[in-house]
Amino acid sequence: MISKTAEYALRAVTCLANDTQSSVSADILAEKTKVPRRYLTRVLQDLASSGLLASRSGPGGGYILVKPTEKITILDVINAVAPLERITACPLGLKSHTSLCPLHAELDRAFAATESALAAVTIRQLLESTNPIVPLREVPL
């Protein structure tokens, strides 16, 4: 449903949300999120361009969240790197389809429901979940 790029972005933002006091280098983020560094660098640049992250260069530099975790939703992160594409016109380009056919209308409703669900969950909610499984961390069995 979401792209690998969006998955990587969510891992990076979740990791940064755990360490909001200081910037985190791309090397450390790559290690913690299990994302290839070169790929992660591009994802981080997109997140910074969207205004979710700030980057600092030089010694002690790295990436830091710009917004508080209660203001960042899963959908915000996905839209920053690989937005979900809604169906607004016939994907086949059929001229007689001046509105969506029943198939594409249902698919678009599913996309709308997905967008709504992802927009309702903040990064803070993920981190404060009562689920014993902690994002990006091994937990004792």
Residue 41 lies in a domain: yes
Q: What is the CATH number of the domain that holds 15?
A: 1.10.10.10
Number of independent structural domains in the chain: 1
The answer to the question of residue 74 being in a domain is yes
Range of the domain at 58: 4-83+122-127
The answer to whether 16 touches 64, Cβ cutoff 8 Å, is yes
Whether 107 is in a domain gets the answer no
- At which residue do the structure tokens 């830091």 appear? 64
Residue at 68 is within a domain:
yes
Q: What is the pTM of this model?
A: 0.88
Residue 91 in domain: no
Q: What is the pLDDT of residues 10-63, one digit of tens each?
A: 999 999 998 766 889 999 999 999 999 999 999 999 999 999 999 988 777 899
pLDDT tens-digit map of 82-109: 998 889 888 888 889 899 999 999 999 9
Over the range 5-29, which residues count as b (16 or more CB within 10 Å of their CB) and which as e? bbbbbbbbbbbbbeeeeebbebeeb
